[in-house]
Amino acid sequence: MKQRGFSLIEILISMALVLLLLVGTAELITMSIWAKRKGDVTAGLVRSFCSRAESLKSLAFGPQGLPAGDYAETARDEGGRGLFLHEWTVEDAGERSQRVRLRVTPAGHPESAASLTLWISKGLGFRP
């Protein structure tokens, strides 16, 4: 008598292969979601960081525009996706220059903080 269909062993082997493919796909999707979230945090950090650096550079030189001291502000990303803590310190580094240390930290991701030191000069003193 000739039997039609698959044996129990063939079905179990095919189920194991399908399960292996599903687990691999799930792992790939999980890693993709994690990478996208990390990329979104990094992109927001860069936008927020550049925005704060540009605003500090545009202030007038000296105590009238950029007084020495420690400052902190929480700001929302331009895209409105996340909060970032901006901390900066302004120090007088001589008669004609100031040093600004800027640190931006995404809320909930302190390991992704970025830092920058700006040297702002009233004039470099070059003469024609």
Which band of pLDDT confidence, cut at 50, 70 and 90, is reported for residue 19? very high
- Count of C-beta atoms within a 10 Å radius of residue 24: 10
Dist CA 91 CA 123 (whole Å)? 17
Averaged pLDDT of the chain: 86
CATH topology of domain 8-121: Pantoate--beta-alanine Ligase; Chain: A,domain 2 (3.30.1300)
Which of 77, 100, 102, 99 is CA-nearest to residue 87?
Answer: 102
User: How many distinct helices (H) and strands (E) make up the chain?
Assistant: 1, 4
pLDDT of 71-80, one tens digit each?
A: 999 988 776 6
pLDDT of 123 > 90? The answer is: no
Q: Is the pLDDT of residue 127 over 70?
A: no
pLDDT, average across residues 45-73: 84
